[in-house]
Amino acid sequence: MSQSQHERQRLAHDPHRPRYHFLPPSMWMNDPNGLTQWRGQYHMFYQYNPHSAAWGYMHWGHAVSSDLVHWRDLPIALSAKPGADKRDGCWSGCFVNHDGVPTIVYTGVDKNVQRPFIATGDANDPDLVHWTNYEGNPVIANPPEGYDQHDFRDHSIWREGDTWYQVIGAGIEGVGGAAALYRSTDLYNWEYLHPLSSGELERDGAIWECPDFFALGDKHVLIYSPLPQCYAVYNVGEYRDHKFVAQATYQLDFPAYFYAPQSFTDDQGRRIMFGWIKEGRSVDAQIEAEWSGVMTLPRLMELGPDGLIHFKPAPEVAQLRQNYQNLGAQNISTDQNIVLDQHSNSCEINISFDLGQAQSFGLDILRSDDGQEFTRIAFEPSSQELIIDRRASSQNEHDDRDIRRHRLIADAEDTLNLRIFIDSSVIEIFANETTCATTRAYPSRASSKGIALFSQGGNTQVSTLEIWDIQAIWP
Ligand code: DQQ
């Protein structure tokens, strides 16, 4: 058994550890990096600290998959130098197919100075195991004048004709977060042009981390993760004269467990995103668990006729379904709780509610047999708010336990469809495809796997209710 399989087996008993969302064998993970499909295989690199379940000494972990769902661990691709400071290492970046040479552009951090670095791999190796740093690193000496000289990191690269373009996450002094645009003919010598886009300090943050820029439908999309807000934002707009003008801006996922997403186009032309799901419990609990950080499911992004990005789990995830239960239509009477027979904390729920007279309706998941512990997902038609209530999610006061309200990005008119993926402590929700909400819950009771439906202030008709158990992706 390999070391990584051993680690996975060692931690598999942990009831809060996800079983079908990707995470490393053990220890800390944050951003997805270098996502690509290379010679048929999907590659996931990720920010990884192999020494602890806390951030620091960043390496690039690495796994491959032939189906976006089952992953095979590979050796660390990029390492922090021995003796590095906690803040030094290999920070986020992207993969580039440089005329057949597999290439990574990332942020090398040395003595807390952040600069663009390049490493190349072996084109004949489908696993892309070996990476060699370019001797001339860094490839850009300093951030441009007028920019914050410290925060200058994370890369998104594309090609137009013979010319490479890249944006780097940055901030302009006194202005706000920005995506600094560069151009190059050889990927190694870069000329600064101007901000592809920049924001207003108060509204859009001081620094934009992890910019991701790509065409979608007949528009362009710029995604970034602003600081200090610490959530991810997507902008749909026009790209002209090498400037991006946003026409619509939305938070990508609610509330803020989802961060630093990255996307890529696969061989089928699909735009696929992964994001980092943070923990919702104390640092001590993470260190004790010996793991921290989870990837979202692979999300397909399409531009809808409404001008919004529509998010769906990649269809490949459906291969993990088993024990299909079609519970058909259900009528929930006002103030009634329908406790279902199903018990699972590793499942997918597809539920559609008709919007009727009820003031609010929804479901309790991760519910204990006595109904004392549960996580409530509710919808209030009058405010169009999705409400995630975790006040009774766990008995541990160090876990996040709050109630949050999020207005849907697109109003639900007649129906609210929720696709809910529960994976131990991860809850990933797709609401009418246009609003995503990801949260965490760490139930204390072993029986907290139940599901109940409720309606308040009027009856609610459920038109579809399907539930599948979801299989683990590791043996
Ligand atoms: N994580 C990386 C940075 C990036 C941040 C460091 C976002 O490159 O800006 O681990 O989570």
167-199 residue pLDDT tens? 999 999 999 999 999 999 999 999 999 999 999
Q: Which of 154, 167, 225, 295 to mutate to test the pocket of ligand 1 (most atoms within 8 A of CB)?
A: 154
Task: Give me ligand 1 centre to Cα 198, in Å.
Answer: 19
Is residue 434 within 8 A of residue 409, CB to CB? The reply is yes
Of ligand 1's atoms, which has the minimum distance to the CA of residue 154?
Answer: 8
Q: Best mutation site among 33, 48, 91 for ligand 1, i.e. most ligand atoms within 8 A of its Cβ? A: 91
Residue linked to tokens 């495809």: 433
**Interior angle at CA 377, CA 226 and CA 290, nearest 5:** 60
pLDDT digits (tens, 9 = 90+) for 281-327: 999 999 999 999 999 999 999 999 999 999 999 999 999 999 999 99
Identify the pLDDT of residue 152. 98
Candidates 30, 110, 262: which one to mutate for ligand 1, based on the most atoms within 8 Å of Cβ? 30
> Which tokens in the block code for residue 154?
């994370």
CA of 100 to the centre of ligand 1 (A): 27
pLDDT band for position 45 (50/70/90)? Answer: very high
Q: Give the pLDDT confidence score for residue 423 in this predicted structure.
A: 98
Q: Measuring from atom 10 of ligand 1, which residue has the nearest CA?
A: 91
Distance CA 424, CA 448 (A): 10
Note the Cα 64 to chain centre separation in Å: 18
User: CA–CA separation, 307 vs 82, rounded Å?
Assistant: 48
pLDDT of residue 83: 86
Q: Which of 13-22, 76-85, 135-144 has the lowest mean pLDDT?
A: 76-85
Q: Which atom of ligand 1 is nearest to the CA of 92?
A: 8
Q: What is the pLDDT of residue 157?
A: 98
- What would the two tokens of residue 77 be? 């691709």
The pLDDT tens digits of the residues spanning 327-358 come to 999 999 999 899 999 999 999 999 999 999 99
The residue-averaged pLDDT of 405-427 equals 97
Q: What spacing in Å lies between the alpha carbon of 314 and ligand 1's midpoint?
A: 25
Report which ligand 1 atom has the smallest distance to the Cα of 210: 9
Question: Of the candidates 397, 409, 469, 466, which has an alpha carbon nearest to the alpha carbon of residue 437?
Answer: 409
Q: What mean pLDDT value characterizes the chain? A: 97
Mutate to test the pocket of ligand 1, among 31, 88, 229 (most ligand atoms within 8 A of CB): 31
pLDDT digits (tens, 9 = 90+) for 22-40: 999 999 999 999 999 999 9
CA 58 to ligand 1 center in whole angstroms: 9
pLDDT surpassing 90 at residue 82: no
| Helix (H/G/I), strand (E/B), else coil: 403 | strand
Q: In the predicted model, what is the mean pLDDT of residues 8-14?
A: 97
Going from the Cα of 53 to the center of ligand 1, the distance in angstroms, rounded, reads: 16
User: Are residues 318 and 290 in contact, defined by beta-carbon separation less than 8 angstroms?
Assistant: no
Percent of the chain with pLDDT over 90: 98
Is the pLDDT assigned to residue 71 strictly greater than 90? yes
Q: Does 230 score more than 90 pLDDT?
A: yes
Name the residue with tokens 């064998």.
25
Report the alpha-carbon angle 447-448-452, nearest 5.
Answer: 115
Compute the distance between CA of residue 199 and CA of residue 171 in angstroms, rounded to an integer.
9
Q: How far is CA 465 from CA 284, 340, 342, 424, 453, in A?
A: 39, 11, 12, 21, 11
CA atoms of 78 and 65, how far apart (whole Å)? 19
Cα(31) to ligand 1 centroid in Å equals: 6
Assign 4 to helix, strand or coil: helix
Catalytically annotated residues:
31
- The 10 Å Cβ neighbour count of residue 70 is 16
Strands 450-456 and 435-440, bridge-based pairing: unpaired
Distance in Å, CA 341 to ligand 1 centroid: 43
Instruction: Please tell me the residue having the least CA distance from ligand 1 atom 9.
Output: 209
- What is the chain's alpha carbon radius of gyration, rounded to the nearest angstrom? 22
Place of tokens 């002209």: 240
Task: Specify the DSSP class assigned to residue 17.
Answer: S
Residue 122 has pLDDT above 90, yes or no: yes
What integer pLDDT is reported at residue 436 of this predicted model?
98
Atom of ligand 1 nearest to the CA of 225: 7
Element (H, E) at 287: helix 283-289
d(CA 75, CA 49): 13
Ligand 1 center to residue 32 CA distance, Å?
10
Backbone angles phi, psi at 380, to 5 degrees: -120, 105
Distance CA 475, CA 240 (A): 49
In this structure, are residues 220 and 214 in contact, taking their beta carbons and an 8 Å threshold?
yes
pLDDT interval class at 133 (50, 70, 90):
very high
The number of helices, as runs of H, and strands, as runs of E, in the chain is 3, 35
Q: Which residues contact 418 (CB under 8 A, 6 or more apart)?
A: 349, 350, 351, 352, 353, 377, 429, 430, 431
Mean pLDDT, rounded, for 197-220: 97
Q: Which atom of ligand 1 lies nearest, measured to the CA of 209?
A: 9
Coil, helix or strand at residue 96: strand
pLDDT at 401 over 90: yes
The per-residue pLDDT for 207 is 98
For residues 404-425, give the mean pLDDT: 97
Q: How confident is the model at residue 471, as a pLDDT?
A: 98
* Residue 475: predicted pLDDT: 82
d(CA 375, CA 392): 6
Ligand 1 atom closest to the CA of 55, numbered from 1: 10
Nearest Cα residue to atom 6 of ligand 1: 91
- Show the beta-strand stretches assigned E in 88-242: 89-98, 101-110, 113-121, 131-133, 153-160, 163-172, 176-184, 191-198, 207-216, 219-227, 233-240
Q: Give residue ranges with CB within 6 A of ligand 1.
A: 30-31, 47, 58, 91-92, 107, 153-154, 209-210, 259-260
pLDDT at residue 98 is higher than 90: yes
Kindly state the helix (H) or strand (E) to which residue 23 belongs, with its residue range.
none
Q: What is the pLDDT of residue 290?
A: 98
Distance CA 192, CA 183 (A): 7
